[in-house]
């Protein structure tokens, strides 16, 4: 069974530029999550989808971050314009069930903002 | 919201030693997972264990949900066990997986 796929693995941009990350969850997983992990900290949830609907985006900085999950499968996370403090690893995860499902993570996309 | 504290924050071991990592949480949970984050940043699932005990090779985990803690045991540690260990929980009041503070493990030959 294929795992969670993410791309790109690495991205370096200058502040005020834009960037987009892509995630393809495990087949059949209805719930998809985007986490942000700053160096030295645990992952922090940014947004959670159930199929193509948003369940929780309370910690998403909506002035610069946006995410969508069209057709309830793939998802894209965009940052525009990027700030220095957005330098982090962006992790995508998926699970079969929302509350009790085991989460599986992709390898992450490492963003450096200069 | 729920608080998830892990101890110790850092652990240094010599190869072959055993260790116990602890995760305390402040509310009832219906989902608890242990992850190992390797030096390349990949989060590897170790256990899905909202209650009870599980074993997988040299690793085992126990969650006592009524007392709001979970333990991860690593026996005969190897250098490849190095990295950060996270527990993460979903409380009954929310369906967000919240990560603990992590334990950084270094195993030396």
Instruction: Give tens-digit pLDDT for A18-68.
Output: 999 999 999 999 999 999 999 889 999 999 999 889 999 999 999 999 999
CA distance A15 to A12: 10
Indicate whether A100 pLDDT > 80: no
CA distance A61 to B52: 38
- CB proximity B101 to A under 8 Å: yes
Chain A: give the shortest CA distance to residue B91, in Å: 9
**Interface contact A45-B98, CB threshold 8 A:** yes
Q: Which pLDDT belongs to residue B91?
A: 84
Residue A56 Cα distances to A11, A25, A94, angstroms = 26, 18, 14
In A, which residues are within 8 Å of B88 by CB distance?
42, 103
Look at residues B8, B10, B38 and name the one whose alpha carbon lies nearest to residue B24.
Answer: B8
| Mean pLDDT, residues A62-75 | 93
Question: Taking the CB of residue A97, how many other CB atoms lie within 10 A of it?
Answer: 12
Per-residue tokens: B87: 């527990």
Q: Which pLDDT belongs to residue B78?
A: 97
- In chain A, pLDDT over 70 holds for what percent of residues? 97
In A, which residues are within 8 Å of B95 by CB distance?
48, 55-56, 98-99
Q: Which residue of B has its CA nearest to A57?
A: B96
In B, which residues are within 8 Å of A101 by CB distance?
31
Mutation to test the B interface, candidates A42, A47, A89, A90, most B Cβ within 10 Å:
A42
Mean pLDDT by 10 residues, chain B (109 residues): 94 97 94 91 92 97 96 97 95 83 95
Chain A: give the shortest CA distance to residue B105, in Å: 13
CB-count exposure of residue B96 (10 Å: 0-12, 13-18, 19+): buried
Cross-chain CB nearest to B95 (options A44, A99, A107): A99
On whether the CB atoms of residues B8 and B60 are closer than 8 A, the answer is: no
- CB proximity B65 to A under 8 Å: no
Name residues whose C-beta falls within 8 Å of residue A27's C-beta, 6 or more positions apart in sequence: A1, A2
Cis amide bond preceding A95, omega within 30? no
Chain A: give the shortest CA distance to residue B29, in Å: 10
């Amino acid at each position: 069974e294929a795992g969670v796929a993410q791309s790109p693995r690495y991205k370096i941009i200058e502040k005020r530029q834009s960037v987009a990350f892509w995630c393809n969850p495990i087949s059949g997983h209805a719930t998809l999550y985007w986490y942000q992990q700053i160096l030295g900290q645990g992952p922090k949830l940014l947004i959670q989808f159930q199929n193509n609907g948003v369940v929780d985006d309370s910690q998403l900085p909506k002035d610069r971050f946006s995410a969508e999950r069209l057709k309830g499968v793939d998802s894209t996370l965009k940052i525009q314009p990027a700030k220095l403090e957005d330098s982090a690893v962006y992790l995508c995860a998926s699970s079969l069930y929302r509350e009790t499902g085991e989460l599986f993570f992709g390898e992450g996309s490492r963003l450096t903002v200069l | 919201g729920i608080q998830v504290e892990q101890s110790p924050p850092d652990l240094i071991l010599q190869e072959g030693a055993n260790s116990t990592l602890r995760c305390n949480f402040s509310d009832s949970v219906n989902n608890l997972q242990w992850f190992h984050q390797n030096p390349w940043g990949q989060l590897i699932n170790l256990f899905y264990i909202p209650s009870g005990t599980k074993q997988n090779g040299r690793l085992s985990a126990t969650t006592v949900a009524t007392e709001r803690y979970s333990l991860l045991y690593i026996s005969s540690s190897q250098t490849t066990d190095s990295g950060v260990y996270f527990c993460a929980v979903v409380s009954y009041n929310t369906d967000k997986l919240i990560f603990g503070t992590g334990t950084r493990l270094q195993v030396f030959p």
